[in-house]
Amino acid sequence: MGTFRIRTRTKRKIKKALKKYGPAVGLLIFTIALLFRACEIETPYSLLGEAIPKTLSLDSFAVDNQITVVSQEQGVSKTRNFAKRLQISGYQTGTVVSSADTENIAFYNEALYSYAVIDGDSMKFKKENIPVEYLEFVDVADEVEHMLIALPEALLEDVKIQKEDGVKTISLQLTVNTFTAYYEQYVSENRASLIRGYRLDDFALSDIVSVTVSVDKKGYLDSYSISYKGKGTKTDDGIREEIWFSVEDRMTFVETEEGVSVKPMVGYLHFPENVSAPYHLLESAMTKTKALDAIQATYALNMNVDMDLLENPTDIPIYAVIQATDLQSGKPRLYSRRNISMLNVSKETEVYREGNYYYIYVAGQGLKIKSGIYTHNYDVLSDLQELTLMLPERILMNGNITEQADGTKIVGITVPKADVVELFDFHIDEVVMAISNDAKIQEVSPTDATVLITVSEDGYLLSYSTEFDMKLTLGIKNETGARDPMEVKVTMDSIVNYTHPSVPVTVTPMEGYEDFPYIEY
């Protein structure tokens, strides 16, 4: 941009000089201007600042995207390689068509539809119904643009240009905060991809991020690569584990003499349409909601219980309030208040989490413990995930979407009784714990479950309700230590409500939490 201004001003001066002083003086000024331009020093800032817009000014281009992910879990290292060819044409003319191909996935995108061959199966999608795990194959231009960032001059002052065979390369290292500030969309998309692909609870960048950019002899991008490390957490049977990741993401621009011609698959116009719109809507909503840095939510779970130990059917309500901030920082702050009532007896538990420490207040007593296997019972975010379960696509295929006047969408689903025990085991466990911590489930017979989910106009989860009946046979210990069977009938009703993310969230801990005694397990 600076070079353009110098050139424009120089042309104006030459014209004025020619008009005022004549050809001799004008020629002298012109010669000085040429010498000035010849003496201009190429910097990493000018190299990057010219190569990126020049490359993105092309009407068509092809990119080879190579991603290597090394994960370390419990001392075991695993390497996964992903290779993807991206092609775009009509980029400048507004008639964009694109394709994205891997070894077992091929996408061709034009107008309102995307056409795909996935593991040999052919299908087409309306673009608004693309499953979240395939968005990178559809938003090809965004995939490229979100990575190719022209960094400011201040970050490139101490960087050197390396030259080899006419290719110019710059390499620099950025702190996590700086990288996140300039590559915000890239970070968000890659974080979501790792969480989804490795079934993580969350993921946060760590250490220094390396960026390396090469520019070819013609001034176009040759390659752009980003290398970063991070830590993910995963919960399995209530035990949280850490997984370390090292990722190298490299885009290499493929030089072609004739330009790029993006071609569809043979017979693509006859591909059957994938119509599981509820699945796509909910997958996207849950991914967006889970990626929030702050949430505020409540949940209410009521169990109407009928069994021999009770004179009449009795409600056992559980209610919780959750406020959480800094969820993506690796040092979350969270407050929750959970209340359970039974036979006019109420038990309330307050939990405040700050980083790796939990402060717990129950029955008039406070204590502080470190995050670990003993804190999973106080992990209300895990409870939210259990109560807002992403249902399998085969079940959501029969769901329906109702759009409200305010733009919100309500998804109604019937979950067959054959799937209820597996999908809603959290609800069943709550019943058992409310009746007796020592009870053993011998048999469960549920009805179909009704699920209603509300998604906001801008795609965030607002509410999730579940309702079903069941009969349980529990084994209860008698005086001899043997287990007697007891039949329990339960009507289960739960609802989670999220405050829209546009509303600020404030985490307020219990008074005096700093003075709670530390208990080391």
* Stretch among 38-47, 146-155, 455-464, 504-513 having the lowest mean pLDDT: 38-47
35 lies in the same domain as 62: no
Residue where one domain finishes, among candidates 224, 244, 275: 275
Is residue 365 domain-resident? yes
388 lies in the same domain as 288: yes
In the chain, the largest separation of any two C-alpha atoms, in whole Å, equals 117
* Half-sphere exposure in the Cβ direction for 441 (13 Å, CA): 14
Instruction: Compute CA distances 57 → 6, 54, 250, 273, 428, whole Å.
Output: 22, 5, 21, 34, 58
Query: Where is pLDDT greater, at 236 or 496?
Result: 496
Q: pLDDT at position 13, please? A: 53
Is residue 520 domain-resident? no
Is residue 107 domain-resident? yes
200 lies in the same domain as 296: no
Check: CB of residue 360 under 8 Å from CB of residue 377. Answer: no
Is residue 521 domain-resident? no
269 lies in the same domain as 137: yes
- Domain of residue 12 covers 2-40
110-119 pLDDT, tens per residue? 988 999 999 9
Q: How many residues are recorded in the chain?
A: 521
416-471 pLDDT, tens per residue? 988 898 899 888 888 888 777 677 788 888 999 999 999 999 999 999 999 999 99
Residues 362, 379: Cα–Cα separation, whole Å? 15
Question: What value does the mean pLDDT of the chain take?
Answer: 86
Check: CB of residue 387 under 8 Å from CB of residue 466. Answer: yes
SS3 assignment for 109-173: EECCEEEEEECCEEEEEEHHHCCHHHHHHHCHHHHHHCCCCCCCHHHHCCCCCEEECCEEEEEEE
CB atoms within 10 A of CB 198: 16
Q: Residue 417: which CATH number? A: 2.50.20
Count of the separate structural domains present in the chain: 3
Residue 328 in this model has a pLDDT that exceeds 80: yes
pTM of the full predicted structure? 0.53
Residue 68 in this model has a pLDDT that exceeds 70: yes
424 lies in the same domain as 479: yes
Residue where one domain finishes, among candidates 241, 275, 309: 275
Residue where one domain finishes, among candidates 249, 275, 301: 275
Residues 392, 398: Cα–Cα separation, whole Å? 11
* Stretch among 12-21, 67-76, 228-237, 270-279 having the lowest mean pLDDT: 12-21
Nearest to 463 by CA among 503, 410, 505: 410
245 lies in the same domain as 333: no
11-56 pLDDT, tens per residue? 555 555 555 555 555 555 555 544 444 445 889 999 999 999 999 9
355-410 pLDDT, tens per residue? 888 999 998 899 999 887 667 778 888 888 889 999 987 788 778 888 888 889 99
Residue 507, classed as helix, strand or coil, is coil
